[in-house]
Amino acid sequence: MAVTTAAGAPHIPAQNSVQKVMAQVLVALLPGVLAYLYYFGIGMLVQIVLALSFAYLFEWLSLLLRKQPLRMFMGDLSAAVTALLFALSLPPLAPWWCSLIGMLFAIVIAKHLFGGLGHNRFNPAMVGLAVLLISFPRIFTYWTPPQMLADTSLSLGDVLYTIFSSQPPGALSWDAITQATPLDQLSTGAATGLLVTEVRQNPVFGDFGGLGWEWIANWYAIGGLWLLWRRVINWRVPVALLLTTFLLTTPFYLFDPDANPLPLQHIFSGATVLAAFFIATDPVSGSATPRGQLLFGVGVAIIMLSIRRWGAYPDGVAFAILVMNMFAPLLDQYTRPRVFGHPR
């Protein structure tokens, strides 16, 4: 009998794969993407295509330079998830180079310079977004109103023209085709001393959050619940994040409803739900321990609300997540679970 080294147990294969995990995340984002398209038009689709193209260009180049197996890593779909989350955070009419810069920082710097898949300290999509938020804040005023409120409807040609020329189409001005987001309005409203109830008179607001936005959030949540059910993500981060958001804003609202928005407003506007189910749940840059994940969610919510309330940015999800990414190793260190058979 030939002497061979024994294959280690277990002998049967794992059922899961990185590719399957990422594919499910993409599928779970689909309802939200479709809702987004419905409310905000074709611009979002262009952003997604741009982000995906740049993401895979940079992924390919990075893998080539790092001499990594191309087939294995190009197929893992992680770059697609990064690109999609990034694109969904961009205004639909953002210029094309936003994706270029964003994906350069996300894929090359945040991901591959740190060692590639599984080694990034920070959420790549949020790194790309944060770079743009800090360097080109004006872009984030290029939000179009939901289509039912838009004065002018933009054709695909108009959208492409705007994105690639960074100019409004035809004789239109930026003011004519864009509108401040609900969170922008709350932020400026608070700065100018308007009551929340007055700000909310604006038709851009819906029942809880922004018109359209709240429904997109709902569809994100449905995708997120599906991921929970599929056990792709666990409940800790989303529950901690959403519950903290709700519990922290409720007393303020009850105490002074004129100055503080409805708790549900915070949940259903901006990127709160997207972050809760899809971004803060990124395992690589998050905490590994159960209690660490709860604290991670709580931390993201607190920082996000602080930025919304006192910061210079209307949303703050990206920064909240990046800050908590920094704390993830510390959380892992101090929230180790008890081991079976050992006292607490």
Token pair 């794969």: residue: 17
Q: How many residues bind other proteins (CB under 8 A)?
A: 45
Task: Give yes or no for residue 192 binding other proteins (CB under 8 A).
Answer: no
- Least distance to other proteins, CB of residue 329, Å: 10
Residue from 9, 148, 191, 312 that binds other proteins (CB under 8 A)?
Answer: 9
For residue 13, the 8-state DSSP code is P
- Least distance to other proteins, CB of residue 27, Å: 15
- Least distance to other proteins, CB of residue 300, Å: 17
Is residue 41 classed as helix, strand or coil in its secondary structure?
Answer: coil
Other CB atoms within 10 Å distance of the CB of residue 71? 7
Q: Name which of residues 270 to 309 contact other proteins (CB under 8 A).
A: 283-284, 286, 288-290, 293
- Least distance to other proteins, CB of residue 69, Å: 7
H helix runs in the chain, sequence order = 18-40, 43-65, 70-74, 78-88, 96-103, 124-135, 156-165, 174-177, 182-192, 196-199, 213-229, 236-255, 263-268, 272-274, 290-310, 317-334
Length of the chain: 344
Give 112 or 200: the residue with its C-beta nearer to other proteins. Answer: 112
- Least distance to other proteins, CB of residue 343, Å: 8
End-to-end CA distance of the chain: 50
Residue from 4, 151, 173, 193 that binds other proteins (CB under 8 A)?
Answer: 4
User: How far apart are the C-alpha atoms of 231 and 110, rounded to whole Å?
Assistant: 26
Task: Give yes or no for residue 341 binding other proteins (CB under 8 A).
Answer: yes
User: How far apart are the C-alpha atoms of 317 and 325, rounded to whole Å?
Assistant: 12
Q: Name which of residues 20 to 49 contact other proteins (CB under 8 A).
A: 20-21
Residue from 67, 138, 342, 344 that binds other proteins (CB under 8 A)?
Answer: 342
Task: Give yes or no for residue 339 binding other proteins (CB under 8 A).
Answer: yes
CB 230, CB 25: distance < 8 Å: no
Task: Give yes or no for residue 72 binding other proteins (CB under 8 A).
Answer: yes
**Contact residues for other proteins, defined by CB under 8 A:** 1, 3-4, 6-18, 20-21, 69, 72-73, 76, 78, 115-119, 231, 234, 283-284, 286, 288-290, 293, 332, 336-342
